[in-house]
Amino acid sequence: MNKLPHVRQIIETAPQSGAWNMAVDQILLQSAFESGIATLRWYTWEPTASLGYFQSESELQTDKRLVNLPHVRRLSGGGTLVHDHELTYSLSLPPSQSLITRPVELYHIVHQCIAAELSRRGANAMLRGVTVKNRQEPVLCFAREDEHDLVLDGHKILGSAQRRRRGAILQHGGLLLAASSVTPELLGLQDLRPRIDLDQLAESLGNAILAEIAETWETGTLTTEELDRVRSMIAGF
């Protein structure tokens, strides 16, 4: 695999609104196809429900627990996500990168790097493997099964999805750290491994992924232009 020459890593420690988080991901994808900037971003959320790109808002009504949550639409497909006690990553790659032509491999690389770091911390998660799709999928993404999911003791703790635009790709996914009071049946890392150490988890996971896909990387922030675009996008929501 040809590694990326350079990747910017952004680690946001304060929880943000759904509108902010999705606007930033969209602008990072834009920076990838316009300026050739590759970015790995880590972020957390204020409690939010996010709809998959192709979902109807009416689907929120099928689970009354979701009705009163702020909601936003993701760039990627899939089911509804309840973002609460979660660490989310997004990886934006420009069109010139060889990984763009192998999207399935990108899932495997990222998920296996995350699995290896979690194993080092005492949680031996693994890829789910081949599944049989249901005709009627559940509304909640973490109640669905996909072969690329990371599972721990049979519980899905990480799922990812992708979106392409003008040759660039955005892959993002959520790692459940603990169950939300909204969806207590969806267990996270701390529910399944109460003694797990989550200190500096984003940095450790990021460095594991970047060591696999990049020649060099550095921790950075959004540029002034990117911030202006994010604010303009949120104002238009």
- Return the active site residues: 141
Only one residue has tokens 């069109």, namely: 95
> For 188, how many CA atoms within 13 A lie in the half-sphere containing its CB?
19
First-last CA distance in the chain: 39
Residues 6 or more apart whose CB falls under 8 angstroms from that of 13 comprise: 44
Length, in residues, of the chain? 237
Q: CA-CA distance, 13 to 44, in Å (whole number)?
A: 7
Neighbours of 201 (CB within 10 A): 19
* Phi, psi of 107, rounded to the nearest 5 degrees: -55, -50
